Each structure stands twice: as structure tokens, then as C-alpha cells.
Amino acid sequence: MKTMQWTVDAKKDLSTNYSQISQAAQLLQKNEVVAFPTETVYGLGANAMSTEAVMKIYEAKGRPSDNPLIVHISKIEDLERFTENIQPYAEELIKSFWPGPLTIVVPCKQGKLSTKVTAGLDTVAVRMPSHPVAMEIIKQSGLPIAAPSANLSGKPSPTKAVHVLNDLDGKIAGIIDGGPTGVGLESTVVSCIGEAPVILRPGGITKEELERVAGPVRMDEALTDERKAPISPGMKYRHYAPVAPLTIVDGRPEQIQELADRYRQEGLRVGILTTKERESVYNASSVKSCGSRSKLDTVAYSLYDTLRSFDDDELDILLAESFPDEGVGKAIMNRLLKAAGNKMLQL
């Protein structure tokens, strides 16, 4: 399959890019799969009402089909097409955070979406992206769009079009290059089924921000207990992993350097993922900063791109510093732990 590519300047009037977006929207209407930028990561979109289309997502990504997908919409009214019995606090969250990087899990009307989107559950995950390209392609297609991250299953999510191309060229119908994404981590996923919201996947919108709108919010037990089965899209399997085995190390820089030295004495090529404050401290085969420890949003923005960049260094092992488990740090640590298969050393 030849993968079509279009370049769109998301900062300009999208009417100047009408033909590119229109071509992509037409492919979606024909049940093809198209990658496009959102404010979080690049998504791999398909018609959420067509099992034929949705299966192409799973096939391109190599993703297990028992893993539910997030449905993307361009206007609030679209919720009525395939959801029901939405809790009042969920409506408040929608008013406060849509469009934006918040996904809500709500009851799903039966028969409206492909069961491959919901993985047979009676709930569906929905969000309204704020990226202008994403909004325009959804609007022009006239469809609810199922869209997980546009990468091979298990690899770091794509924050640039080149990441998508590296993973999926020849596997999908098209890619819209709208430049680098903004947040850098996937949306916060919140279950809105019970009496109070539950965070199923931390993201750019923090627990504290949610609580200011919806009152007490708890974290899903599966985020901290491996014995619990996660129910959020994208959290059931190992994800975000670079080629080299990753270990998170919670310790002082000198302790991390000592560990790296022991590996190097064994003849191993070692990489270290750090921040700009400590980048000059380390000596290893590859040392890279993913942002500033004092500004964790910069770490979130660069995390996946930095993890992918280590793949070019032919490493035997990759060590990553840990981050504060608060605010957006919760999302950063969640992604790192998934990438490391929950392997973390306390020094």
C-alpha cells in the first residue's frame, strides 16, 4: 500500500489546506485509515461505526483487538449519537475541558459503534481534541473517529509525523503532517460511570485540575496494583518502550552513574535518560535530556521523542531517572513504568 502524505500548517487558516484535509476525510469515509495530529500525540483514525475500518487500525498497529479505542468527535451533539445516561459531573468535566486532552468513559448505546471499538464493553471512551487539524478532519468526514496513537503497538507514541512514517509507512492510507504535537502525552482518561470520577489513565489534565471541577477524584487501583486488570484504552499491555530494555532508577545521580559504570564494565552500551539540570553529570554511551525537572510539562512534551531517539544508539540497556509522582509527573511516571514493564530500582 502506498501511504499518501499531506503537509498542513495548523497555525494558518485551514481553508488554505482544504484539499489536503478533504482528501484525508474522503479516505476515512471509504473506511481507510489515516494518521493525523492531535494536541496530545498523532492518532490513527478510522470510521468508528465500521468494523472493517477499525480492524485496519489493529492490523496496522499490531494491536490486540481486545484493547478498546477512544472515539474522537468534533462537536458535543455527536455524543448523543452513541452514548447515554451521562452523569452530571461528566457534563461539568466536558464543559471545563473540551475540546482538550480529556477522555471520558461513559455508557454506550448498543449497535451504534463497531464492537471492535468498545472491545465488547457496554461503555465507550470519548474525547474532543483541540488540535485544529484533528477537529477539521473529523468535521469534514462527518464520522465519529476511532483513533489510538499512530505507532506500532508497544513503541513510544508518535509526537511527529516522521515517527508515524517510520512505524507505519506502507501500512496505512495516509498521514497528515501538522507539525509536532503539543502536550506530548496521551489524554487523561476518566471513568464517568459511577457516582464519582475515577482516573483510568493519567495525562496532561491532572487529578488536581479535575477535582476543582468535579469534587473528589480517585485513581484506578490498576494503576498501582499489577494484579488488577486495567480497563482504560491503551493501558492493558506494555507500551511506549524503546528498543533497549528500560529500567527506571530512583536514586541520586551519583548512584545512577555507579550503576551505569557497573554495566559498562560488563561490556554493555548504556544510555541514561535525564533532564537538562543533570545532563552534564553523567558519563555513558548515550546521555539525553527530555526537558527540565523544574518544568515537568517540558518532560511530558519531549518524553516519547527522546525515548525514540535512543533507538539509533544501539544500546544494551537504558536507565531513566524517576520523577515526582504528582501533577503531570503522575502521567510521566505512568508512561515510563509501562515502557519499563514496571521495572524500577530503588537505590
At 300-342, the pLDDT tens digits run 999 999 999 999 999 999 999 999 999 999 999 999 999 999 9
Contacts of residue 187, defined as CB under 8 A and 6 or more positions apart, other chains included, come to: 40, 70, 101, 102, 103, 127, 201, 203, 204, 205
Which of the 8 DSSP states describes residue 75?
Answer: S
pLDDT of residue 234: 52
**What are the binding residues?**
40, 63, 67, 72, 123, 127, 147, 149, 157, 187, 201, 240
Q: How far apart are CA 140 and CA 24, in angstroms?
A: 9
Please, what are the averages of pLDDT over each run of 10 residues along the chain (347 residues)? 94 81 97 98 98 97 86 95 96 98 96 94 96 96 97 95 98 97 96 96 96 96 62 59 96 97 98 97 98 97 97 97 95 95 94
pLDDT of residue 229: 47
pLDDT of residue 232: 56
**What are the binding residues for L-threonine?**
40, 72, 127, 147, 187
pLDDT of residue 252: 97
CA 97 distance to own-chain centroid: 17
Q: How far apart are CA 272 and CA 279, in angstroms?
A: 9
Domain range list for the chain: 4-223, 246-346
Candidate CATH numbers 2.40.10.480, 3.30.930.10, 3.20.20.60, 3.40.50.11030; the one for domain 246-346: 3.40.50.11030
Which of the 8 DSSP states describes residue 181?
Answer: -
pLDDT of residue 222: 78
Residue 292: Cβ-neighbour burial (10 angstroms; 0-12, 13-18, 19+):
middle
Q: Where are the beta strands (DSSP E) in 244-312?
A: 246-250, 270-274, 286-289
* CATH fourth-level superfamily of 4-223: DHBP synthase (3.90.870.10)
Q: How far apart are CA 283 and CA 279, in angstroms?
A: 9
pLDDT of residue 226: 55
Closest CA to 29 of 13, 14, 54, 46: 46
**What are the binding residues for ATP?**
63, 67, 123, 149, 157, 201, 240
Q: pTM (2 decimals)?
A: 0.93
